[in-house]
Structure 1
Amino acid sequence: MTDHHPLLSGYAVWLEPAESHRATLRSLVNRLAEEQPPALRFEPHVTLYHPVALDRPLDAVVASLRSLASHVKGQLRLELLPAQGGQHYYQSVLAPVVPDEALLALRAAAEASWGPIEKPYFAHLSLLYGDLDHERRAGIARGVNELRALPKALELDSVVLVRAVGRADEWEVVHREALG
């Protein structure tokens, strides 16, 4: 693995796991990062939308985020598939999420607020960012699955606006809004 960290520049909108899952998932993400230096730690999340342009007024972005959060009645509960190796640095190891009607409606509302994204939406729980070869990614995913480290369903309780500028360890949460 090289020390190549693609730099991002924009706001990211994440769905954050409920407290019942957050600590366990954070521990898993941190352990995987420690085992794969120079991988970086990050908060567990499912990306709903990226990027929101940084030149948009922050108060308008937060207002849209609040509107998104109000579309959901309580927590989202999504089926989580087994971990797998991904194809990109920011999707090195992940667990796909089965996109249900509520998640897809939330994504559509995000695109209505900030514009359509050309790439198809691939809902997933990020587990490891890194510049690893395919075999290594697959091996790490296999290890996660053998440990049964992931829940079968993921409860998400908030939508989070993250200023994703630079490396993952430089990103900062700008606003958090409870769903519902």
Structure 2
Amino acid sequence: MSLKKYSLWLCPTTGSEPHHRLNSAISQFSSILGSPRFAPHLTLHSPVYAESGVDVLEQVRDYVEQLGQKLGDNVRANGIPIGIRDVTTGAHFYQCVLLHAPFSDILLKANAIAREKWNTAKDPKPFYPHVSLIYGDFDQDKKEKLAKQIRDSLPANIREDLSFTAKQVRVVSTAGPFEEWRDIGSVSIASGEITFIKHDH
């Protein structure tokens, strides 16, 4: 069986204020631009290769157990905090306009533990914590204008209103073009409980 590619996402809790505000911004601008629509998230680690959704979720449950052992009860009880800073632009399709989420000690360690587990510690691609708002290929002027529009549409106090704590590690199949991405499920950071999303083919 061939291996499939997955990514690990940290997302705000559905129904929370950060989720609502981020989801609204992504939805609004993807509609205006005709660009991809996606769930608000910070990519904790990618890629993870596994034979199936069930297999990858088992791997992630093992990873979450390591998080608890290495980062302690505070992370197990409360989750992984994501501090949002400001709207900025990036150089890639999947980092077109985004929210900068500076390194925190917990986030760096969680990424390092993932790199160690999935043997990507020597991957030269640096970990760049961010929450994307727009996917697309636009020139820099257009990106700057979009970043200003988004900044104006978000709360004045971005740090306070958009920062969030991820309570689970979400697993997304990210093989192929964006249209083929699929949410596979999640693993609770507190309990290690797996939620599996079955997709009809």
Aligning the two structures, in what range does the TM-score lie when normalised by the shorter sequence? 0.7 to 0.9
Match of 1:5 in 2: none
Alpha-carbon distance between aligned partners in 2 of 1:68 and 1:27, rounded to the nearest angstrom: 34
Q: CA deviation at 1:24?
A: 2.0
C-alpha root-mean-square deviation of aligned residues, in Å? Answer: 2.1
Q: CA deviation at 1:136?
A: 1.0
Judging by fraction of residues, say which structure has more strand.
1
Q: Share of identical aligned residues, percent? A: 25
Q: CA deviation at 1:94?
A: 0.5
SS at match of 2:125: coil
Alpha-carbon distance between aligned partners in 2 of 1:96 and 1:106, rounded to the nearest angstrom: 18
Q: CA deviation at 1:170?
A: 2.4
Match of 1:12 in 2: 7
The amino acid across from 1:42 in the alignment is F
Choose which of 40, 65, 70 in structure 2 pairs with 1:44.
40
Alpha-carbon distance between aligned partners in 2 of 1:78 and 1:28, rounded to the nearest angstrom: 18
Choose which of 19, 22, 41 in structure 2 pairs with 1:22.
19
Q: CA deviation at 1:124?
A: 0.2
On the 8 A contact 2:67/2:113 being kept in 1, the answer is no
Q: Which has the larger radius of gyration?
A: 2
Match of 2:149 in 1: 143
Unaligned 5+ runs, structure 1: 1-8
The amino acid across from 2:141 in the alignment is E
TM-score, reference length from structure 1? 0.84
Describe how 1:1-180 pairs up with structure 2 within 5 A: 10-19=5-14, 20=16, 21-37=18-34, 39-55=35-51, 57-58=55-56, 60-67=58-65, 70=68, 71=71, 72-73=75-76, 74-115=78-119, 116=121, 117-149=123-155, 151-153=158-160, 154-155=163-164, 156-180=166-190
Alpha-carbon distance between aligned partners in 2 of 1:80 and 1:62, rounded to the nearest angstrom: 25
Alpha-carbon distance between aligned partners in 2 of 1:86 and 1:158, rounded to the nearest angstrom: 26
Distance 1:34 1:65, change over 3 A: farther
Where relative contact order (Cα < 8 A, 6+ residues apart) is larger, the structure is 1
Q: Size of the alignment, in residue pairs?
A: 171
TM-score, reference length from structure 2? 0.76
Judging by fraction of residues, say which structure has more helix.
2
